Amino acid sequence: MSSKCPRILAIAGSDSGGGAGIQADIKTITMLGGHAMTAITAITAQNTTGVQAVDIVSADMVLNQIESVVNDIGIDALKIGMIGSADTAVRVAKYCAQISVPIVFDPVMVATSGSILSDSDTIAAFEKLMTVASVVTPNLPELEALGGRDSVLKHGCHLVVKGGHGSGHDLVDRLYSPTAMIKQVEGKRIDTDHTHGTGCTFAAALAFGLGKGMLLPEAFEQAVSFTRIAILEAPGIGRGSGPIGHQLVTNFQDSGR
């Protein structure tokens, strides 16, 4: 199953503007050739300028969504984004400890617009999710909030340190095992304001690769490539940080990337 149509479950919040969250996950997984399934943790009223309102979905409902999918369709990999609440984080981590699939955890704290998406109690509960994750994919501010590289790696997971929030014309994305750096991808910074959903997209693409059976370094490189192409193809919509162009990443599977 995984080699033909990887079944990827995304646990994340809904972005009504369609740029990030569950919507970005579905677009990414679909464009890469997978079957996207969802467990929605929060509903946001959101556009390119910010987040106007958030309703958190109950932990019971999040777990019901997960179990409904797993018990029938099955999953080849799991992607966790905005988790909604500390209670949901703890209960999802407990559930994940019982399953044997790759788990990508993107510790969402702040939207591209600057809006806060996780409170302090939820961020504290990220410890539980890092313990069960195969790989954690924070941006640089999120990594700092988690205590830095060593603080994440002590949980036994792999770590992607993304360079997008750094400075300079060149950027480097690095993949670490619990003990060493094992892969890095260098690239030129893309001069654009339209980057809404890049973190979600990268994590979903990484989960797809792992669900397809790729080794982590190969899946990491593919996820970087897909995300960069989607940034280049951003349609330039909205008055703020616009969404990237998932739907315009054509022939990606046939390109050999």
What are φ and ψ of residue 176, in 5° steps? -115, 140
Identify the three-state secondary structure at position 176.
Answer: strand
pLDDT at 165: 59
In sequence order, which residues have a C-beta less than 8 Å from that of residue 120 and are 6 or more positions away?
none
pTM value is 0.93
Check 19, 21, 81, 199 and give the catalytic one: 199
Q: How many CB atoms lie within 10 A of CB 126?
A: 27
198 catalytic, yes or no?
Answer: yes
Q: What is the DSSP letter of 247?
A: G
Options 3.30.565.10, 3.40.1190.20, 3.20.20.100, 3.90.79.10; CATH for 7-248 is 3.40.1190.20
Check 162, 164, 212, 242 and give the catalytic one: 162
Element (H, E) at 187: strand 181-188
Give the separation between CA 16 and CA 105, rounded to whole angstroms.
22
199 catalytic, yes or no?
Answer: yes
pLDDT at 121: 83
What does the DSSP assignment read for 64-120?
A: HHHHHHHHHT--SEEEE----SHHHHHHHHHHHTT--S-EEE----B-TTS-B-S-H
Domain boundary assignment for the chain: 7-248
Give the separation between CA 93 and CA 96, rounded to whole angstroms.
5
Identify the three-state secondary structure at position 198.
Answer: helix
pLDDT at 114: 55
Give the separation between CA 76 and CA 78, rounded to whole angstroms.
7
Report yes or no: 109 and 140 within 8 Å, Cβ to Cβ.
Answer: no
21 catalytic, yes or no?
Answer: no
pLDDT at 170: 83
Report yes or no: 220 and 161 within 8 Å, Cβ to Cβ.
Answer: no
162 catalytic, yes or no?
Answer: yes
Check 195, 201, 209, 212 and give the catalytic one: 195
CA atoms 126, 200, 164, 115: torsion sign: negative
Check 44, 122, 137, 198 and give the catalytic one: 198
Helix pair angle (86-96, 59-72), 10° resolution: 20
pLDDT at 166: 54
What tens-digit pLDDT sequence spans the chain (257 residues)? 455 899 999 999 999 999 999 999 999 999 999 999 999 999 999 999 989 999 999 999 999 999 999 999 999 999 999 999 999 999 999 999 999 999 999 998 865 555 556 667 878 889 999 999 999 999 988 898 899 999 999 999 999 999 865 556 788 999 999 999 999 999 888 888 899 999 999 999 999 999 999 999 999 999 999 999 999 999 999 999 999 999 888 767 644 44
Check 19, 197, 242, 245 and give the catalytic one: 197
Cα dist from 188 to 14, 64, 165, 168, 170, whole Å: 31, 43, 13, 9, 5
pLDDT at 14: 97
